[in-house]
Chain A
Amino acid sequence: MASPESTINGPTKADSKSLRNAFGGVIAFIILVLIGVLAFSIRLFSVIKYESVIHEFDPYFNYRVTQFLSKNGIYDFWNWFDDRTWYPLGRVIGGTVYPGLTLTAGTIWKVVNSLNIPLSVETVCVFTAPIFSAFASWAAYLLTKEVKGPGAGLTAAALLAMVPSYISRSVAGSYDNEAVAIFALVFTFYLYIKTLNTGSLFYATLNALAYFYMVCSWGGYTFIINLIPMHVLLCIVTGRYSSRLYIAYAPLVVLGTLLAALVPVVGFNAVLTSEHFASFLVFIIIHVVALAYYIKGILSPKMFKVAVTLVVSVGLAVCCAVIAILIAVVASSPTKGWSGRSLTLLDPTYASKYIPIIASVSEHQPPTWPSYFMDINVLAFLVPAGIIACFMPLSDSSSFVILYIVTSVYFSGVMVRLMLVLAPAACILSGIALSEAFNVLTRSIKFQLPGIAGNSTVASEESGSSSVVAPSDVSKTEKTEEVAKEKPVKKNRKKEKENVEKKPTPSKTERRLLVLPLEASVIAVLLLVLLGAFYVVHCVWAAAEAYSAPSIVLTSQSNDGGLHVFDDFREAYSWLSHNTDVDDKVASWWDYGYQTTAMANRTVLVDNNTWNNTHIATVGTAMSSPEKQAWEIFHSLDVKYVLVVFGGLVGYPSDDINKFLWMVRIGGGEFPHIKEPDYLRDGQYRIDAQATPTMLNCLMYKLSYFRFVETDGKGFDRVRRTEIGKKHFKLTHFEEVFTTHHWMVRIYKLKPPRNRIRGKTKKSKSSRSVSSKRDVKGKRNPWH
């Protein structure tokens, strides 16, 4: 790609080569800088189109933690017991949070401020993700360069800089763990490959440190600590054991595990849970293999055979015993030592069966096919070509890349959010594919263009023979379309790879066979460029339109083309912070917990850190109970205000009524008197006149639709596209205190207990209520 051949005229061969390398280095550097700028700037659409604001839910928590860190220092952060969430349980933030992102942003803030650049913490947080996506691109360059040379590296870096999947998690303002974790992931892999290629203990140590940073940053570090052992095992099984492999792996396990155990949130999990088990198993295996190789080296073949039989028979017995014990230990724990999220990955149906709280999160759902096209676009077609390229020839490093793509494709198929892990792999392989394709095609062109061919000594030798092979290739290229075209190209490249790496002389003769006809090459190059152009257009569109919305501010196009802004969330949160007491407790579904604590600074019962299922189930139960029971539950938890999100007026689809069935499911999981079928009419979830009485009497329905009929006189819900079932009702235990401009957030206050207890209801009254009940409802309401 970055080959500057055409500019070279004249000097001796050695001179021209070193000059060419130097020149290539400079160009590569400039390109890398430009890629960094591209990665950073393509993520600024959100700031330009909206404002410099933290996005979504989790980033608000991270922002709040960073604020705390910058104010109180690292030790207080480590020991932070937060009494404003999970009331009344509280949460030990320091011990339950991955501190990498926070520490990174806190450090940046500190450094910047010590340089007398007065940036606010929020600004630093907003721009952390774009900065790190530039780093991630460079890390992808380094990794791919180790695998297939600098050309592939630059292509991969350029692709990663703008891959939509990664953009979706790292636009400015998306201040989440993944923002730095993807960089850490790719960089750790790079250092592993580098160690594998060099056998240097220095890189092995760096690798352990990079792994430590990854552990600090994201729970996804288990991917690394399982993928690398898998690769080591693969190398051993395919007979590729070497001391380089040992150096790459053993220090990583020892140092990495020690370092990982230092992170409070991981702690002893680093040696206790099954996620880490594979690494230790492979650690043992690699030592056994190393020992075997060593013994093989010092014994005569005959003696070695004897030793092998001896060791195998004894070792087998010992292994059986150890494995039996291990299985017994692991089987004694109910989840087999795996965390719920990991189990969901191994068995995609696990969460929906047992853990509704994991299944309820949209980003834990399996992705749809269109989302692959949306998120990685043309890369999906280039990846197979890249895989084939990696097989020609198969080296330690390229086998690692193949393993990486295969596993990440599987994981992305289980959970949407793991698309993020797939994205770098897809970029790396596509980079390899593209670069190899260009390599072959441009060389074909070069050899056949008379002017250039004459100048180049190498080319002149080969130009004659090229015609021999050409016809067969031509037929192939013409027959197949652009995607398939890569395949023949790849086949050729196998040999070509070898001479890039070490031995240029023997392959010279073979290289003649690789040349394609000029016209086909030119067309193929053009098509590939066109493909890249489509990719760029798509990425820019995705960055600008699809992934830049901060989700706390919504916009819609009005009919006359104007922009309408819905800023209800911030309106509601600032109402809370200005009109309620500092210690008041606000109950809402957990989605809004982080935002409430960060923006309104009020105590919440549950938040997006879903660590206590029972507590969430309590809130779910309250939301699905009738008013009185709900009031009792909330009152017992000292709740003062209840916040619901309602999209029925403006058609905002992810509101609480749409999430309500999850509340019922999660609540019913802990409190069996909440039964999902009570809320469904013939298995259908509906809120119109056909809805069940339980549904129409539950708190969530009432709080969402209270006074709704006053807006248009009919109570037409624009999300469910139907008229609501129960239009006129009063609240007895709650009072509406605030409803935002577009009714998207509604805040209710719990009424205090009645000052007096009334006497018996009069006979006349009770008889009236009985008759009315009989009239209105055909089916008996289980709550009465």
Chain B
Amino acid sequence: MAKLAIFFALTLSFLPFLSHSFSPDTPTDRRILVLLDDFSLKSSHSIFFTSLKSRGFDLDFKLADDPKLALQRYGQYLYDGLVLFAPSVERFGGALDVAAVLDFVDSGHDLIVAADTTASDLIKSVATECGVDFDEEPSAMVIDHQNYAVSDVDGDHTLIAADELINSDVILGKTKIEAPVLFKGIAHSLNAANTLALKVLSASPSTYSAHPTAKLSSPPSLTGSAISLVSVVQARNNARIMISGSLDLFSNRYMKSSVQKAGSHSKYEKSGNEQFVIELSKWLFHERGHLKAGNLRHVKVGETNEPAMYRIKDDLEFYVDIYEWSGNSWEPYVADDVQVQFYMMSPYVLKTLSTDKKGLYHTSFKVPDVYGVFQFKVEYQKLGYTSLSLSKQIPVRPFRHNEYERFITTAFPYYGASFTTMAGFFIFSVVYLYNK
């Protein structure tokens, strides 16, 4: 009942916003289910959770093996996002299983998966389904003898001070993360052919993945830059997934601790974890980097109505609106690299669109001298942004029978020839018939 009230309150508080924005479509998630191994995580990771709550998210904490667990009821999803902070859970409770989690993602919802050395097969298989392969070795950890964080216990090189972050303002925010990010957990790798997954926090070349105490008998399977520490996946339906090899990354302890990277003299009072995690979660829950395009339209130059068909060599103008979600409203998206294709099996025209900085993109071009069924295509895939893929079919016809030139100057000799022949024949006939 309380939840319902909150939901109502939320909806009510949104009403004015809804009526003001030009579209009721709000991509930001609002209801998030957090699955935990035990409730102590609630306090040990409270900074992260508080940050989410303060940004308006409605968190619902549950134990991962809660028998009443359900993501949807009556075919409607109860949550917009799922946070799996339960690395060791072997089986979810209730109606939840791997397939349900993946269906959740495939219907456009977001997911955070955090693992650590105790990661169960369940968590690993969720990650694999999303294109992230955790190290197969059961107790292997990420070890780096050069880029470890200096700590009291000497010789423990499993606490990594990672600073190889992805270079993207969209994903990690405009403010640069100065301090290294503390990481302690397991390694994973991405399939190079996977175009959907990105390494957000990658390991240094001296990293490897192995059991920290056992002696290495064979070369570790995952080494160097192949290792990713934190990755994100943006599915084709723009659902976003974050997979981290370390649950501690999100913990209050790491966020607050000071960090000094081995071999470096600069010591930071505070690690980069808090900024990293919070900025990444903003991206993840669609507070940033969510584009929407629409209102694809085209007119023949000098006309106002959209035609059903063009003729070859017509001049046309093309418009499309692109907006970006800023977290609470749609703002014009400004970029100079949006292109439109005039496409029939291959692009016949490829034009960069110019924008008026109010969200309207525009260009004009001449229809090629080829008839067929064309498409206006806007395919926009930029790092960190949701991908835009719009198309609109438009046939292009050849000239009508009366649209060709009626008289051709170069053909005047032929016209002359035919008329003189006709006249000559007429005269000949008259002379032949009546001149006897």
Contact = CB atoms under 8 A, between A and B. Distances in A.
Interface of A: 75, 78-79, 81, 83, 87-90, 92, 94, 264, 583, 636-637, 752-760, 762-763
Interface in B185-210: 190-191, 193-197
A90 B191 contact: no
A757 B128 CA distance: 9
A757 B345 contact: no
A760 B133 CA distance: 7
B128 A759 contact: yes
A756 B395 contact: no
Contact residues of A: prevailing secondary structure: loop
Contact of B191 (A92, A94, A753, A757): A757
A88 B374 contact: yes
Tell me which of B309, B396, B400 has the highest count of chain A C-beta atoms within 10 A of its own C-beta. Answer: B400
B132 A88 contact: no
A83 B196 CA distance: 35
Q: Which 4 A-B pairs have CB atoms at the shortest separation, nearest pair first?
A: A81-B397, A83-B395, A759-B128, A88-B373
Interface in B93-125: 102, 105-106
A632 to B, nearest CB: 14
B398 interface: yes
B236 A754 contact: yes
B344 A88 contact: yes
B309 A81 contact: yes
Given A92-B371, A753-B236, A81 B131 contact: no
B66 interface: no
A758 B102 CA distance: 11
Nearest to B188: A759
Give the interface residue-count category, chain B: 35 or more
Tell me which of A78, A87, A760, A763 has the highest count of chain B C-beta atoms within 10 A of its own C-beta. Answer: A760
Contacts of B105: 755-756
A759 B133 contact: yes
Contacts of B130: 756, 759
Contact of B401 (A79, A752, A758): A79
Given A90-B372, A763-B136, 5 more contacts: A81-B397, A90-B396, A756-B130, A756-B233, A760-B128
A564 B257 CA distance: 83
B46 interface: no
A753 B395 CA distance: 26
A703 B412 CA distance: 61
Interface of B: 102, 105-106, 127-133, 136, 190-191, 193-197, 233, 235-237, 239, 309, 344-345, 371-375, 393, 395-398, 400-401
Contact of B345 (A88, A583, A754, A760): A88
A87 B372 CA distance: 8
Nearest to B193: A757
B399 to A, nearest CB: 8
A759 B236 contact: no
A763 B136 CA distance: 10
B398 A81 contact: yes
A758 B129 contact: yes
B373 A755 contact: no
Nearest to B236: A755
A757 B395 contact: no
B349 to A, nearest CB: 15
Contact of A88 (B194, B196, B197, B372): B372
B190 to A, nearest CB: 8
A89 B373 contact: yes
Contacts of B197: 757
A85 to B, nearest CB: 10
A757 B401 contact: no
A90 to B, nearest CB: 5
Contacts of A762: 128
13 contacts: A81-B395, A83-B395, A87-B373, A90-B371, A90-B372, A92-B371, A755-B237, A756-B129, A757-B131, A757-B195, A760-B128, A760-B191, A762-B128
Contacts of A758: 128-129, 131
Contacts of B400: 79
A757 B397 CA distance: 40
Given A756-B105, A756-B196, A92 B398 contact: yes
A89 B131 contact: no
Contacts of B132: 759
B221 to A, nearest CB: 11
A294 B106 CA distance: 91
Nearest to B311: A81
Contacts of A756: 102, 105-106, 129-131, 196, 233, 235-236
Nearest to A88: B373
Contacts of B133: 759-760
A89 B401 contact: no
Nearest to B106: A755
B114 to A, nearest CB: 17
Tell me which of A79, A81, A752, A757 has the highest count of chain B C-beta atoms within 10 A of its own C-beta. Answer: A757
Nearest to A92: B398
A577 B394 CA distance: 21
Nearest to A615: B345
A261 to B, nearest CB: 14
A231 B305 CA distance: 60
Given A755-B106, A756-B233, A83 B131 contact: no
Contacts of B237: 755
Contacts of A79: 397, 400-401
Contacts of A87: 373
A689 to B, nearest CB: 35
A77 to B, nearest CB: 11
A757 B241 CA distance: 12
Contacts of A78: 401
Contacts of B371: 81, 90, 92
Nearest to A618: B345
A466 B397 CA distance: 77
Contacts of A753: 236
A89 B372 contact: yes
Nearest to A636: B345
B191 A759 contact: yes
A83 B309 CA distance: 10
Contacts of A583: 393
Contacts of A755: 105-106, 235-237, 239
Contacts of A760: 128, 133, 191
Contacts of A757: 131, 191, 193-197
A454 B282 CA distance: 121
Given A756-B196, A757-B195, A90 B395 contact: yes
B373 A83 contact: yes
A762 B309 CA distance: 52
A171 B120 CA distance: 73
Contacts of B344: 88-89
Tell me which of A87, A636, A759 has the highest count of chain B C-beta atoms within 10 A of its own C-beta. Answer: A759
A127 B228 CA distance: 74
A206 B376 CA distance: 52
Contacts of B373: 83, 87-90
A763 B133 CA distance: 12
Given A78-B401, A79-B400, A92-B371, A759 B131 contact: yes
B260 to A, nearest CB: 35
A88 to B, nearest CB: 4
A583 B344 CA distance: 15
